[in-house]
């Protein structure tokens, strides 16, 4: 039997890359990384602002305590002076 030759036909097969290697995925990765960096910086800034407020409030309260103690000492000195003047007169 003679060999029968059939005409050749070409079939183009295009294999698409997996979804994680597409341009849309790369753009999503870039946006996600930018969001993580921005969020981290924002979180750090917020925590530093809160620490600064705590330090300011602590320094203000200690300053108030020091002033109150100084005023009490001054008042006590005047009381002692007035008391001794009352005894001596």
Dihedrals phi, psi of 48, to nearest 5 degrees: -65, -40
Q: Which residues contact 19 (CB under 8 A, 6 or more apart)?
A: 25
Is the separation of the CB atoms in 50 and 44 below 8 Å? Answer: no
Task: Give the domain extent around 31.
Answer: 23-88
Is the separation of the CB atoms in 61 and 55 below 8 Å? Answer: no
User: 3 in a domain, yes or no?
Assistant: no
pTM, 2 dp: 0.51
User: 6 in a domain, yes or no?
Assistant: no
What was the pLDDT predicted at 22?
95
What was the pLDDT predicted at 2?
63
Q: Which two tokens stand for residue 85?
A: 């003047």
Domain count, the chain: 1
Span 5-59, pLDDT tens digits? 777 788 889 999 999 999 999 999 999 999 999 999 999 999 999 888 887 776 6
């Amino acid at each position: 039997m003679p060999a029968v030759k059939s005409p050749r036909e070409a079939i183009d097969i295009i294999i698409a890359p997996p979804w994680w290697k597409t341009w849309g995925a790369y753009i999503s990765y870039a946006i996600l990384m930018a969001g993580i960096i921005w969020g981290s910086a924002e979180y750090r800034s917020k925590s530093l602002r809160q620490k600064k407020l705590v330090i300011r409030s602590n320094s203000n309260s200690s300053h108030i305590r020091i002033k109150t103690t100084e005023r009490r000492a001054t008042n006590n000195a005047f009381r002692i002076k007035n008391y001794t003047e009352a005894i001596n007169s």
